[in-house]
Structure 1
Amino acid sequence: MEIRQLRAEEFDASVSLSEYAFQYKMSSEAREKAKAGFKPERVWGIFEDGELAAKFTLLPLETYIQGSSVPMGGIAGVATWPENRRKGLVARLLKYALEQMNEDGRPLSFLHPFSVPFYRKFGWELYCDYKKYTIPTGKFPAKVQTEGSMVRDKGGVELLDGLYRRFASSYNGTLVRDKEWWEHSVLDESTHYVVYYTEAGEPEGYALYKISNKVLTIDEFVWLSLEARKGLWTYFGNHDSMVTEANLKLVPSDDDLPYLLPDPRIPQESYPYFMARIVNAKSFVEKLRFRADGAESSIVLSLSDPLASWNNGTWRLSVSETGQASLEPAEAEDVQHMAACGVGTLTAMLLGYKRPIDLYRAGLLEGTEGAAVWLESKVLPARTALFDFF
């Protein structure tokens, strides 16, 4: 068997596998459009006797971590023909993907799982949840008079991205969007957007939305000030003669809107969303800021990784007096505090999805209680979110 990038002439083979695996049929028009935008260098396949047996797409993306951009490998479109399943082909592809990402200097990888247990065994772990609200128009936030103004469908991607960056960078795990991503993966012909401007003319929030069959679907709601939040909701409240309800999608898990509603008893749902995985533990740890307490200290961490052998082993995790971290090979000698976990648990902990002490109490972070307490004191609290899909 051979693992390699696809060639341009293998587009049809790639689409046929996707159609079968994900149970859809692409129209002739959509197929031609997809062919024009096909980037074979991003699609890797495993071939048997020259035939495509399984494949995945590796997207060169970036994500916000602690307010800064970090390279990330997005895995999508993992598919196998049924006659080739349970032969370990996907495991081989994922291992190969991790090797490629490690060589490219991408310390993180994200994917949307068809099955959480399936990807957990390969080291990926849930890192964010999202909420979904259904709000009848009679329960919308109260309309208020603001000093600012609303501008609809004017300003373009550059304006929206400037606001998005300020909002998204306050979370760990949100996507850094470029113009192509905005135009092809966020906006479409049916999407409207509205921007809130302050009295001084400064943009402070926006919403992406659609209206169909008397339902207002809000795909993205970004606000940088309380006034912007109020202004956007007043704008949507003025649609009360057009719509019967609003559906809010991909709302961050820390959102508090229901509590602020006049009547908060609305349908609310919470979903585990994307999974993440540390590709290179040393590289990722040393990019992070930890809590500084004026003195250097350390623990020993035993890390297990089923696919990335370079992460396996015993490490000394040190944090300097200024909060800078280092991860260096260590001996499992007699130490006061030692922790042990898998790469998935480490990912959830360092991204801020779960706190160290909670993972320790759940038995996912093992070792001494002192090591768990040390990690709890050093790992900075963070919020996680993702507003995109791939």
Structure 2
Amino acid sequence: MTIRQVTADERLTTSFPLAAYAFESSPLGAARTEEFRDYLPYQEGNRTLIVEEDGSTRAAASAIPMRQNLRGIVLPMAGVAGVATHPLARRQGHVRTLLHQLLDEMRDEGHPLSTLYPFRPSFYARFGYVGLPKPRTVTFSPADLGSLVRVELPGEVSWERIGGGYPTWRAFTEGCLEERHGFSIFPDYRAVGLRDRDECWLLTARVGGEVTGAVTYRIDDHGGTLLGNELLVTDPLARTLLLQFFARHVDQVERVTVQVPPDELPELWLTDLDVHIEARVGRPGRSAPMARLLSLDALNGLPAGPGRVRIELTGDRWLAGNHLLDGTAGALELASGASDRVPTATLTAAGLSALAYGVLDPAELPLRGLGEVPVDAAAELRSIFPRRVPYLFADF
């Protein structure tokens, strides 16, 4: 058995067929197999590793070099995708071996963060990943937006195909990356697939000439559904401008669906809005994202509250040792092997990742088996890492 990195064309006969078997209808038709070659330009910068035995691909995994905002700082992030095993080679440890090498390589190349959508969360929890909140799907009738139709709002909306509007969309998502905790975007070579497919409309809200909101969407049929993707806005005015546009479809579609961040409250958008909000999580096929720190370099310089605590990191391949976390200057500083007397907590990699991403309170970690956190240490960690709601925008 060998592990090796495959070239672009090799994906056609190695990783692509395994991923298709794992995540698509099966068996594939000839036409679908021919489409694999069309995907190659959008995979060019990925790192794809395979397990090979007697000339046969037994497992595959890829990492996409992305960027993610962690508490206001944009860092390189390894997005893990396409993890699949041959049906005759499952439960033999191939994925574990691949992930160890893949994450080793991405960490060594300067990616201190990693995210993924798991096929089974408990499997990836053993690799130090912790769950992130899932974006919500919001469904409502455009008839319920009728009160917005004649409202005079400052600003305007623009409407075009994504093929032509892609530069505007890309620039806006780059801006969201700089501002929003947890937000991540694909590298250019992957992101342009949205432009090249040109399968949706782009709606943008502008105020004073500046783009303040955007959503891509398509309509499945007359009398059907306006299917919106991520509704991205910088303020309530931008959201209202986009909803006002949807209201004008009252005689065209029965319902509108959009994706919204996990901290959005659609039930408060309008009075008398009949809205269904769903974030269903299950397996297989309905997983919430997961994330972890691959390197403590991700913490240096993060905005932090005025806490001071020593942590002992245990049980992880990539994070280990004793470290002093000091946020008293407003930016987190790390020191190894610090000897001064401060509260001490013992954390797993998933426990520290949960604090950094803001998804768990320190008091929850012992309940989840993610560490031992005395009360005094919990207070310091709570100050250093205030709770935040991360929004992992990029969809794998």
TM-score after normalising by structure 2: 0.87
Q: Distance in 2 between matches of 1:269 and 1:186?
A: 28
Query: Would you say the 8 A contact 2:15–2:82 is kept in 1?
Result: no
- In structure 1, what is the equivalent of residue 123 of structure 2? 118
- In structure 1, what is the equivalent of residue 86 of structure 2? 81
- In structure 1, what is the equivalent of residue 299 of structure 2? 285
Residues 52-67 of structure 1 mapped to structure 2, 5 A cutoff: 52-67=57-72
Farther off after superposition, 109-118 or 20-29: 20-29
Q: 1:40 to 1:184 in 2, by over 3 A?
A: closer
- In structure 2, what is the equivalent of residue 7 of structure 1? 7
Aligned length: 379
Query: Would you say the 8 A contact 1:340–1:367 is kept in 2?
Result: yes
Q: CA deviation at 1:261?
A: 2.4
Paired letter, 1:356: P
Residues 216-255 of structure 1 mapped to structure 2, 5 A cutoff: 216-249=226-259, 251-255=260-264
Q: Distance in 1 between matches of 2:18 and 2:358?
A: 36
Query: Would you say the 8 A contact 1:360–1:372 is kept in 2?
Result: no
Q: CA deviation at 1:178?
A: 4.7
Q: 1:246 to 1:19 in 2, by over 3 A?
A: same
Q: 1:182 to 1:358 in 2, by over 3 A?
A: same
Query: Would you say the 8 A contact 1:152–1:195 is kept in 2?
Result: yes
Q: Does 1:150 align with 2:164?
A: no
Q: Distance in 2 between matches of 1:379 and 1:58?
A: 28
Q: CA deviation at 1:218?
A: 1.2
Q: CA deviation at 1:171?
A: 2.5
Q: CA deviation at 1:223?
A: 2.0
Query: Would you say the 8 A contact 1:5–1:40 is kept in 2?
Result: no
Farther off after superposition, 28-37 or 341-350: 28-37
Query: Would you say the 8 A contact 2:219–2:225 is kept in 1?
Result: yes
Q: 1:127 to 1:79 in 2, by over 3 A?
A: same
Q: Distance in 1 between matches of 2:45 and 2:154?
A: 51
Farther off after superposition, 9-18 or 111-120: 9-18
Paired letter, 1:67: G
Q: CA deviation at 1:95?
A: 0.9
Residue from 159, 172, 190 that aligns with 2:168:
159
Query: Would you say the 8 A contact 2:312–2:322 is kept in 1?
Result: yes
Gapped regions of structure 1 (runs ≥ 5): none
Q: Identity of counterpart residues, as a percentage?
A: 25
Q: 1:173 to 1:27 in 2, by over 3 A?
A: same
Residues 178-327 of structure 1 mapped to structure 2, 5 A cutoff: 178-185=187-194, 188-198=197-207, 200-213=208-221, 214-249=224-259, 251-271=260-280, 273-280=288-295, 282-292=296-306, 298-308=308-318, 311-327=319-335
Q: Distance in 2 between matches of 1:187 and 1:211?
A: 19
Q: Distance in 2 between matches of 1:322 and 1:28?
A: 53
RMSD, matched Cα: 2.5
Q: 1:230 to 1:111 in 2, by over 3 A?
A: same
Query: Would you say the 8 A contact 1:56–1:78 is kept in 2?
Result: yes
Q: CA deviation at 1:49?
A: 2.8
Secondary structure of the structure 2 residue equivalent to 1:86: coil
Farther off after superposition, 347-356 or 71-80: 347-356
Secondary structure of the structure 1 residue equivalent to 2:217: strand
Farther off after superposition, 130-139 or 152-161: 152-161
Farther off after superposition, 208-217 or 17-26: 17-26
Superposition misfits of 4+ residues, deviation over 4 angstroms = 35-38, 360-363
Secondary structure of the structure 2 residue equivalent to 1:129: coil
Q: 1:305 to 1:277 in 2, by over 3 A?
A: farther
Instruction: Render the CA deviation track for 1:345-365: whole Å, top value 9, x for unaligned.
Output: 211111112233444566644
Q: CA deviation at 1:116?
A: 0.8
Q: CA deviation at 1:79?
A: 0.9
Q: Distance in 1 between matches of 2:8 and 2:394?
A: 27
TM-score after normalising by structure 1: 0.88
Query: Would you say the 8 A contact 2:48–2:61 is kept in 1?
Result: yes
Q: 1:67 to 1:38 in 2, by over 3 A?
A: closer
Q: 1:55 to 1:338 in 2, by over 3 A?
A: same
Paired letter, 1:257: P
Secondary structure of the structure 2 residue equivalent to 1:142: helix
Instruction: Render the CA deviation track for 1:24-78: whole Å, top value 9, x for unaligned.
Output: 3262441331356553862101122332211101111111223332001111011
- In structure 2, what is the equivalent of residue 346 of structure 1? 352
Secondary structure of the structure 2 residue equivalent to 1:84: coil
Secondary structure of the structure 2 residue equivalent to 1:193: strand
Farther off after superposition, 351-360 or 47-56: 351-360
Instruction: Render the CA deviation track for 1:197-234: whole Å, top value 9, x for unaligned.
Output: 22x43332222111112211110222223322221111
Q: Distance in 1 between matches of 2:39 and 2:342?
A: 57
- In structure 2, what is the equivalent of residue 173 of structure 1? 182
Q: Distance in 2 between matches of 1:275 and 1:165?
A: 22
Q: 1:324 to 1:17 in 2, by over 3 A?
A: closer
Paired letter, 1:207: V
